[in-house]
Structure 1
Amino acid sequence: MRILPPDVDAPRRRLLARAAAVALGAQLPAALRATSRPGPSTAECIVPAKAGGGFDLTCKVAKSLLDRSGALGSPVKIRYVPGGIGAIVYKQTIMRSSDRAEQLIAFSGGSLLNIAQRKFGPYAEDSVRWVASLAMDFGVVAVHRDSPIRNFKDLVAAVRARPMEIVFGAGGTIGSQDWIKSAEIARAAQYDFKLLRYVAFEGGGDAVAALERGYVHVMPGDASELTMHLKQGAAVRVVASFSEERLPGLLASVPTAREQGFDIVWPVARGFYVGPRVDDAAYDAWVSLFEKVAASADYRELMNENGMQPYFLGGRDLTRYVTRQVEAYRTLARQYQLL
């Protein structure tokens, strides 16, 4: 199973072509102050889940890049608004804070998958304004550090031999990207994915804690969130990455599922959107600033440190990508009988 973004090299080519011309970052404060809301002194990044997961890391990486740029009047604030793996924030952004130019909301490929399945209610992908994607994350699968499961082949064999004894747990409900990763593992083991034992958590942080305590045995997640928890000493072992090539940083020694004989590739775009009524001046200023930080010396290093690959798309380019990806996810959801 392969879900890949179209032409992954295109964003790099566009970024290099435009980098020399990017000079609007310093103009961001004026552009944001032109709105009726507070300016960059109150800029905040909203994490649509509990702390400790991929959304959390997305906001922390953006905060680091934006704070270092010096373009904002004060450090970016981070706020946590869990609920529905992003559904609550999506609705609130559209209904209550549609013109709040200072609010950036983190999204991932999982958000787009939920939109494709109508899990965000009546709101579609064109209900918000897509600002920028900063990184391409990839799926991984982890077990407890002391688990007898040492690699992906062991995991598949264990699910095949005793499926009712293996409990999966992740930060997403049935139909989420982490559930689909679990279903792909079940398929690799020739086991009916609909019978899989799966526990849903409100974010990757809770799932890692459950894995450490032995409440669940397998956690399908993303490279960035597992890298973050490994840095903090989490008692987990990553047994495979769902990437085409090995990942950088702490996961460099982890073989891909492909290396271990299973064609599973799952990329996860990570970025930000704003409300539908944010005016063009503020929206364009955000796009330009993210374009500037993505061309900085810190950008690639920061992505690699956190287990992600640099992948910038902004404004209209990102909007087109989101539209195509939601349709691709819709097709995938039908294959899993989720629509």
Structure 2
Amino acid sequence: MQRRALLAATTLLPLPATAQGFTPQNPECIAGAAPGGGFDITCRLTARMLNETGIVGPAIRTQNMPGGIGAVAINHINAQRRADPNVIVAVSTGSWVNMATGRFGRFGENDVRWIGTIGADYGVIAVKKDSAFQNLGDLVTALRANPAGVPMGAGGAVGSQDWTKAALIARAAGVDPRRMRYVPFEGGGQTLAALLGGHIQMAPVDASEARGQFEAGEIRLLAVLSAERLPGAMAAVPTAKEQGFEAEWPIVRGFYGPPQMPDAAYNFWVEAIRKLQQHPAFPEQRAAQGLFEFNMSGAEFDALAKRRTAEFRQLARDVGLISQ
């Protein structure tokens, strides 16, 4: 899933993005969850960098809109701001899962305009620093003995992206994921607070969300759900596959716009994200948030979003989360 792009330094001019003369007025980025999670990171990192690099002139504010891990946000956009040229909304692989399983109500992948990505994240399995689970094998043993005996929680309800991470571990252990004891929260910030408070014993969250508490020594990561070990601060954390369990979960992070966003505005935001992807100051800032390079925008990102949502919809049918 990681994607490397060849960047031409001669084109990296810190000039405002333009599209047929369009300039946003009071631009806004909506993070569809409580502060502290992946959506929040996506908005705040992008808004800051677009402004600091001069790619977008007007200051971009971040609005947190928790509720259904993006459900309230997409309903808000479609009900009240269908043609708003000044708003972009943070999106992730989990949004595609929610669209596929009907958790966004009647709104799906064809009810937004897909703009582009700022990077990729990966799932991790987190426990408190003093947890009895020293590695993924310990957790799997406990799940096999009593699937409901390990209280766990993360952003979204059963069938959500974070639930699916835990379900991958359960399936690798030969356990029916529907027997797990799972508590839904509004994003990664609330999830990690619950973990540190002892309300849950395990949290299947994102690497970017967990990084701060991991580096502070407050949590232990039993596994990263990537094909290879991640570089940097999490280099010592083994993959699930290294420990004998086939479980991977890459997370794409990016943005969509309203379904009737005018073409000039849509092209403006696509161009802005492309310039940010290519800006020499961005890789360091992206890495500081635990994100990895994954550059896609415009029609290519539109095709990916629709393809992956269709794949998740079929998977949901296969495991009985939605009807045929």
TM-score range, shorter chain: over 0.9
Aligned counterpart, 2:311:
328
- Write the distance in 1 (CA, Å) between the matches of 2:194 and 2:230: 25
CA RMSD of aligned residues (A): 2.0
Identity %: 39
The one-letter code of the counterpart of 1:331 is Q
Report the TM-score, using the length of structure 1 for normalisation: 0.89
Contact 1:32 1:101 in 2 (8 A): no
Superposed CA deviations along residues 220-251 of structure 1, whole A, max 9, x for unmatched, are 011111114435x4721111000011112321
Q: Give 1:29 deviation, angstroms.
A: 8.5
One-letter code of the match for 2:301?
A: L
Between the two proteins, the alignment pairs up a number of residues equal to 322
- Residue 123 of structure 1: how far off its partner (Å): 1.6
- Deviation readout 1:287-318 (Å, 9 max, x if unpaired): 11111111111222222222221101111010
Q: CA deviation at 1:266?
A: 0.6
Cross-structure match for 1:36: none
Residue matched to 1:130:
114
Q: Which runs of 5+ in 2 are unaligned?
A: none
Partners in 1 of 2:114 and 2:293 — Cα distance? Answer: 18
Pairing partner for 1:253 from 232, 236, 245: 236
For the residues of structure 2 that align with 1:209 and 1:200, how far apart are their CA atoms?
Answer: 13
Partner of 1:148: 132
Indicate yes or no: 2:152 matched with 1:168.
yes
Q: TM-score, normalised by structure 2?
A: 0.93
- Between 1:244-253 and 1:267-276, the stretch displaced more is 244-253
CA deviation profile, 1:5-64 (whole Å, cap 9, x unmatched): 5xx54xx34x547x755779524387433xxxxx34x11211101011111111122123
CA distance in 2, matches of 1:27, 1:66: 10
Question: How do 1:63-82 residues align onto structure 2 when only pairs under 5 Å count?
Answer: 63-82=47-66
- Cα contact 2:114–2:302 (8 A) shared by 1: yes
1:168 and 1:27 map into 2 onto residues whose CA distance is 44
**CA displacement, residues 182-235 of structure 1 (integer Å, 9 cap, x when unaligned):** 11222222222111100001111111011001110000011111114435x472
Task: Please point out which of 271, 275, 292 is paired with 1:288.
Answer: 271
- Aligned counterpart, 2:219: 236
3-state SS, counterpart of residue 26 of structure 1: coil
201, 206, 220: which one pairs with 1:217? 201
SS at match of 1:126: coil
- 5+ residue gaps, structure 1, are 34-38
Aligned CA distance change for structure 1 residues 180 and 91 (closer, same or farther; 3 Å): same
Answer 1 or 2: which has greater helix percent.
1
Task: Provide the residue aligned with 2:101 in structure 1.
Answer: 117
Q: Is the aligned partner of 1:309 residue 2:298?
A: no
Say whether 1:28 aligns with 2:18. yes
Matched, 1:189 2:179: no
Q: Deviations over 1:146-196 (max 9, x none)?
A: 001111111111212233321111011010011111112222222221111
